[in-house]
Amino acid sequence: MTVFKSTRRCARMLVPALALAVGATGTVAAAGPAPAATSKAAFASGGWTTGWAAAMQRPSTGFEPNWAEAGFSDQTVRQVVRVTEGGTRARIRLSNQYGGSPLEVTGATIARAGRGAAVSPGSLRHLTFGRGARSVVVPAGGQVVSEPADLPVKPLESLTVTLYLAGTTGPATTHLQGYATTYRASGDHRADTDGSAFREGATTHSWYYLSGVDLAGEPPHRDTVVALGDSITDGFGSGNDTDSRYPDQLAARLAAAGKRRPVLNAGIGGGMLLSDSAWFGEKLGTRLQRDVLDNPRVGTVIVLAGLNDIGFSEIDRPTYKPDPDRSVAELIAGHRAIIRRAHARGIKVIGGTLLPMKGAEYYTATSAAKIRQLDRWIRTSGEYDAVADFARAVADPADPERLRPEFDSGDHKHPNAAGYRAMAAAVNLADLR
């Protein structure tokens, strides 16, 4: 069983405008010949806020076919993301966290999204990395941040990020369940504006190498919300190209209420609170650092975790390994550790109750009892700063251990878009920092 090891990084998720390459050993190497500062103070002085982010995963076949294990060779990859913050300048973050060798990115562009693979006329910008260089090498286990491009971006607007990978990459660091169409074409098409180069190419619903889009131009605040969790946070069952995961709908709800702020999705399908998984990625305690704590703009984190820890032990399936029989006491200890670490950074922590899953493949009397006990602790212990009672928001009134039929995506465990809307509505906006 492969267990992921955490890596030290001197430059964290959000670094200054000059691109940095960060190695797994913690060594910082500038992508250009000039050195650059790595402090969070430098980030703050630039006024940068993360408008979109994805939690990175090791290459895997995942839940549907993707390109992660095969990687890329003389191919262009165009990815579409929706930001929850606006600005006048944009930059991207690229991760080679699970790469076995350095990743050469021959070039990259960013643009406001058009229809399908097309971009909005006049919006395409070539990105540079370190003193104006259009290409960059991302060390194995590291990440780079591009230099800023002048690009007006509105909140809740979709952008395309296009990477040209001339060499052979090997397996690609990825986010498996993107629920957004990613396009691929042979050759260099980073400057394609009408999307014609991608019309005959293949598509997937995963993201590759792209871990974040940062925006600058508006006064920065420490009001970013991060949703941390598993496939229910990730948005399984919400539909492709709909931006209807619960964090998406929370961002839209905040904007409609005149309380707009960045909402970032740090969910990973199959992720667990207490165990690393060769299939689904690192446990929340490990991911907490890079997906939440390293972002100096985070004011609130919403934690929804423990369902897979409970359920995986109830069914013998290779992809569910490791599947130790976790006690409720162990799960509570895991939640407490996250609360403690977030509080140490001044971050408000909201606990989300686990959803009912009667009828799902790993529903048993034992798993149901554990869910009830853990949810009772989340609601009544007072250890979380606030509670988002997702379970009550989506439960069938006639049978609280089952999802309401109109909220069930079909597997009796994951909500559909309507169910995710109900989850977003369960978050008290006044509880957000």
Q: Residue 155 pLDDT > 80, yes or no?
A: yes
Domain co-membership, 152 together with 238: no
61 assigned to some structural domain = yes
Domain co-membership, 226 together with 203: no
**Helix, strand, coil in percent for the chain, rounding step 5:** 25, 30, 50
Domain co-membership, 211 together with 234: no
24 assigned to some structural domain = no
- Tell me the CA distances in angstroms from 420 to 70, 226, 232, 258, one per residue in order: 33, 16, 9, 21
Domain co-membership, 146 together with 256: no
Q: Stretch 152-163: mean pLDDT, rounded?
A: 98
122 assigned to some structural domain = yes
314 assigned to some structural domain = yes
Q: Are 202 and 78 in contact (CB under 8 A)?
A: no
Q: Are 391 and 376 in contact (CB under 8 A)?
A: no
Domain boundary (161, 190, 215) is at: 215
Report pLDDT digits (tens) over 280-327.
889 999 999 999 999 999 999 999 999 999 999 998 888 888 889 999
Report pLDDT digits (tens) over 353-365.
999 999 999 999 9
Helix (H) or strand (E) holding 352: strand 348-352
Residue 237 — pLDDT band, cuts 50, 70, 90?
very high
Task: Determine how many CB atoms are found less than 10 A away from the CB of residue 89.
Answer: 20
Domain co-membership, 271 together with 420: yes
Q: Stretch 151-173: mean pLDDT, rounded?
A: 98
10 assigned to some structural domain = no
Please choose, from the candidates 337, 320, 340, the residue with its C-alpha nearest in 3D space to the C-alpha of residue 329: 337
Domain co-membership, 284 together with 193: no
Please choose, from the candidates 222, 230, 100, the residue with its C-alpha nearest in 3D space to the C-alpha of residue 171: 100
Domain co-membership, 192 together with 235: no
Alpha-carbon distance of 392 to 394, in angstroms, equals: 6
Cβ partners under 8 Å of residue 372, min gap 6: none
31 assigned to some structural domain = no
Q: Are 31 and 21 in contact (CB under 8 A)?
A: yes
Domain boundary (172, 190, 215) is at: 215
Q: Stretch 41-69: mean pLDDT, rounded?
A: 83
Domain co-membership, 184 together with 286: no
**What is the predicted pLDDT for the residue at 361?**
93
How many domains would you assign to the chain? 2
Judged by DSSP in three states, 50 sits in strand
Residue 157 — pLDDT band, cuts 50, 70, 90?
very high
* Structural domain of 418: 221-431
Q: Are 55 and 46 in contact (CB under 8 A)?
A: no
49 assigned to some structural domain = no
Domain co-membership, 186 together with 243: no
Cβ partners under 8 Å of residue 121, min gap 6: 114, 193
* CATH assignment of the domain containing 351: 3.40.50.1110
Alpha-carbon distance of 1 to 324, in angstroms, equals: 13
Q: Of the ranges 52-56, 62-66, 155-159, 391-395, which one carries the lowest mean pLDDT score?
A: 62-66
Q: Residue 166 pLDDT > 80, yes or no?
A: yes
Q: Residue 337 pLDDT > 80, yes or no?
A: yes
**What is the predicted pLDDT for the residue at 27?**
29
Long-range contacts of 327-331 (CB under 8 A, 24+ apart): 328/370, 328/373, 328/374, 328/377, 330/274, 331/273, 331/274, 331/306, 331/370, 331/374
Alpha-carbon distance of 288 to 369, in angstroms, equals: 27
**What is the predicted pLDDT for the residue at 15?**
33
Report pLDDT digits (tens) over 174-229.
999 999 999 999 999 999 999 999 988 899 999 999 999 999 988 889 999 999 99
3-class secondary structure for 135-151?
Answer: CEEECCCCEEECCCEEE
Is the peptide bond prior to 322 cis by the omega test (within 30 degrees of 0)? yes
Report pLDDT digits (tens) over 71-88.
999 999 999 999 999 999
**What is the predicted pLDDT for the residue at 46?**
64
Cβ partners under 8 Å of residue 430, min gap 6: none
Report pLDDT digits (tens) over 370-384.
999 999 999 999 999
Place of tokens 């591009």: 146
Domain co-membership, 383 together with 259: yes
Residue 278 — pLDDT band, cuts 50, 70, 90?
confident
Report pLDDT digits (tens) over 8-51.
233 333 333 333 443 332 323 333 322 222 334 334 446 899 99
Alpha-carbon distance of 20 to 23, in angstroms, equals: 10
Structure tokens at 322: 């490791």
Domain boundary (192, 215, 238) is at: 215
Domain co-membership, 59 together with 159: yes
Structure tokens at 236: 């399984």
378 assigned to some structural domain = yes
**What is the predicted pLDDT for the residue at 319?**
85
Domain co-membership, 209 together with 238: no
Report pLDDT digits (tens) over 110-141.
999 999 999 999 999 999 999 999 999 999 99
What average pLDDT does the structure give for the chain? 90
Cβ partners under 8 Å of residue 382, min gap 6: none
Residue 279 — pLDDT band, cuts 50, 70, 90?
confident
